[in-house]
A and B are shown apart, each in its own frame.
Chain A
Amino acid sequence: MLIRRAPDLKSSEITTESQYLNRREWIASMGALGAVTAFPSIAKALGASPQGQDPKPIGTPMGLQPNDTPTPWADVTGYNNFYEFGTGKEDPAENARAFKPLPWTVRVEGMVNKPADYQLEDFLKPHKVEDRIYRMRCVEAWSMVIPWRGIQLSDVLKRAEPTSSAKFVEMTTLFDPRRMPGQNSRVLDWPYVEGLRLDEAMHPLTMLATGVYGRTLPNQNGAPLRLVVPWKYGFKGVKSIVRIRLVDRQPRNTWNLSAPEEYGFYSNVNPEVDHPRWSQASERRIGEFRRRPTLMFNGYADQVASLYSGMDLRKNY
């Protein structure tokens, strides 16, 4: 392959905002010709936020490897899987722009002594908000390092007082096709549902995130409240949660319903168990070229491996 060095960018060549806005109009006008489908990322590149204005990553690094550095803000907030706002990686940032996450109600129900409907502020108020930097591994074999802000799910569950019969936690995304246009397509069985075993949900690493990079969670990242389970594939992190239900049976999660042989309930990051269509042994870190080896439980084995002792992780993928 021919590799040519691109010419260096002079500061005089940097696009001003008005030029960039004009270019966006031009790109929009090319849409009819299919130019945008042919060159989608050029449109995206023009929309990238100028260097130096991005927020600084804050938080306690947890489970990071020595060569892990936080993924840039533009990637964390511009490269998302959130099918409620479209199936392309750059669709959510575009299509979630008009979404208004507040006011927001979260229902806690099922096998708990204290079921309740909370306004988001009341839901969060009693709990300690923390900034933590976690590794994130997508089932599609790419990864990021993300500075999350949020609370521990265990605090929420303790407050609700699960009964002795509660064994699993099921979490559900908002279903409102007018606000989430992707739900007008049948690409998945809406609403999006995810679940954890109660001990996984109670694990201190499991978070409900309300922010990234010290800022309020952008819509495309699952505003106003989303799950973060750093040792599992990213799709376990259900976004825009409206319901948390304690149940005694393993919930059917959306991707498992959609393709059972490809996506399991546990979905623990595991380099030894391949996805049927690709290897999970390595990953591409967003912003890096060389593939990295994928780590067992995404590098959190010391903290979580004991949850699965004695289990066949090939069967329980």
Chain B
Amino acid sequence: MIGKGELREPRWFGRVLVVLLCVPAVLVILGLTSDILRGTRYFGSDPVKEGEHFLGEWTLRLVLATLAITPLRQLTGWNWLAKHRRTLGLFAFAYVILHWSAYAFLDVQLNWADLKTDLLKRPYIYLGMIALTLMIPMAITSTKAMIRRLGRNWARLHRAVYVVAILGVIHFGMAVKKDLTEPFIYGAVLAALLGWRVVRALKNRAAMAQ
């Protein structure tokens, strides 16, 4: 094991985490409400688009954060991080729901014809929708009772997070007009997080074989 840090969980950690994760959502809800109803420009000249993208990026950040827990734990030995993964995952789900709501209610404004063509014809939309759909069963089965009830299948089901993260990065990359810098950054972080797991699995296998 690398770096067996003995740092114990600060007592405030869980509560502070929840409060911090609420901040972007509160900002975007207050900001957009003000921009739309009162014509302010907290979210720029096109607040609906900006707010929609803001929520999408926070979703992606949180999905990547859930994937960062395991490597972080292995690197630092702070095993108590594991129990906050659910918090991060549920917040990722809350943000994706807000992201979708901004898209459907504020951007497309519930124009059914547009929603339908978007969903059927535009790859970045349906890839995003697949990712969102995959997050629903994970959110539903996040309770302790469900973890117990599903046993080994719980871990299998929650491996869908890898697909969600990959689809999320692709969805982002396809949505931007031209400048792929940001999607590449997210892609690189995701590659590092997945690469870490692959390398560890290979090392473990080699160790077992000896």
Contact = CB atoms under 8 A, between A and B. Distances in A.
A159 B210 CA distance: 86
Contact of B43 (A41, A83, A286): A41
Nearest to B185: A37
A74 B41 contact: yes
Contacts of B154: none
Contacts of B41: 41, 44-45, 48, 74-75
B33 interface: yes
Interface in B103-125: 105-107, 109, 111, 114, 117-118, 122, 124
Interface string A74-87: 11001100010001
A282 B111 contact: yes
A126 B175 CA distance: 46
Interface string B80-102: 00000000000000000010011
B174 A277 contact: yes
Interface stretch (B1-9, B23-31, B155-163): B23-31
A44 B48 contact: no
A46 B24 CA distance: 18
B149 interface: no
- Report which residue of B41, B48, B174 has the largest number of chain A beta carbons within 10 angstroms of its beta carbon: B41
Contact of A140 (B24, B29, B118, B177): B177
Contact of B27 (A4, A39, A90, A142): A39
Say which size band chain A's interface belongs to.
35 or more
A281 B117 CA distance: 12
A188 interface: yes
B197 interface: no
A89 B33 contact: no
B76 interface: no
A90 B30 contact: no
Contacts of A2: 29
B101 to A, nearest CB: 5
B105 A1 contact: yes
B29 A4 contact: yes
A45 B37 contact: no
A197 to B, nearest CB: 26
A26 interface: no
Contacts of B24: 38
A278 B122 contact: yes
Interface in A6-52: 6, 38-42, 44-45, 48
Contacts of A282: 111, 114
- Report which residue of B37, B46, B124 has the largest number of chain A beta carbons within 10 angstroms of its beta carbon: B46
A39 B57 CA distance: 11
A203 interface: no
Contacts of A114: none
A1 B42 contact: no
Given A5-B33, A45-B40, A278-B122, A287 B178 contact: no
Given A1-B98, A277-B174, A286 B45 contact: yes
B46 A286 contact: yes
A5 B29 contact: no
Contacts of A290: 109
Contact of B45 (A185, A259, A287): A287
Contacts of B102: 1
Contact of A89 (B36, B44, B124): B44
A258 interface: yes
Nearest to A74: B41
B99 to A, nearest CB: 11
Contacts of B36: 289
A289 B47 CA distance: 9
Contacts of A185: 179
A287 B102 CA distance: 17
Nearest to B182: A37
Contacts of A277: 122, 124, 174-175
Interface of B: 24, 27, 29-31, 33-34, 36-50, 57, 98, 101-102, 105-107, 109, 111, 114, 117-118, 122, 124, 174-175, 177-179, 181
29 contacts: A1-B101, A1-B105, A3-B29, A4-B33, A5-B33, A6-B38, A41-B31, A41-B41, A41-B43, A42-B27, A42-B42, A44-B41, A45-B42, A45-B44, A78-B45, A83-B178, A87-B178, A89-B45, A89-B46, A142-B49, A277-B124, A278-B122, A279-B114, A281-B114, A282-B114, A284-B46, A286-B46, A287-B45, A289-B106
Given A4-B33, A41-B50, 12 more contacts: A5-B37, A40-B44, A42-B42, A45-B42, A75-B45, A78-B45, A89-B46, A188-B178, A277-B175, A286-B46, A289-B48, A291-B111
